[in-house]
Structure 1
Amino acid sequence: MNQDRQDSASNSSIIVCPDGPILVRGDFDIVTPSGEPVPRQRQTVALCRCGASAIKPYCDGTHKLIKFRTSPVPGDADLNP
């Protein structure tokens, strides 16, 4: 790994936010399933996990409106067979 790549890797991270997006920080390529690059304007971006964003693959905050949850809610009827 060259020194520039190594320096940027040490500043790179992927953070999974509870009930929210995945934050991608650093030198990562974001591509479509067919391999086409997705335009990226910033070093840190938020990727949608709820599927409701109008600007997918990026998050637009819709997860808050639809009350997206990443973990089961205690007492949820679907959890009790």
Structure 2
Amino acid sequence: MTVAAGAPTDPVEITLCPDGPLLVRGNVSLVGPDGEPVPARRSTMALCRCGASAIKPFCDGTHKVNGFTTAD
């Protein structure tokens, strides 16, 4: 998956949540491995890092129950 940023002047913020998802805020669009856009439902997206989400690439909270941890 690739992330295409909006206009260069549009601020984009990516936050690494401890033991959780990546929060992406701003004018970005997601493109899947097939080259097709992945529809975003909100201006802030939570992207899965644990690999177990049922709604990939978005986070569904599964990391809270599967023991996913991030490196310190």
TM-score range, shorter chain: 0.7 to 0.9
- Where do 5+ consecutive residues of structure 1 fail to align? 73-81
Normalising by structure 1, report the TM-score. 0.74
Normalising by structure 2, report the TM-score. 0.83
| RMSD of aligned residue pairs (Cα, Å) | 1.3
The list of structure 1 runs, each at least 4 consecutive aligned residues, that deviate by more than 3 angstroms after superposition, is: none
1:67-78 matches, cutoff 5 A: 67-71=67-71
Structure holding more helix per residue? 1
How many residue pairs were aligned? 65
Structure holding more strand per residue? 2
- Where do 5+ consecutive residues of structure 2 fail to align? 1-6
Bigger RCO (CA 8 Å, 6+ sep): 2
Q: Which has the larger radius of gyration?
A: 1
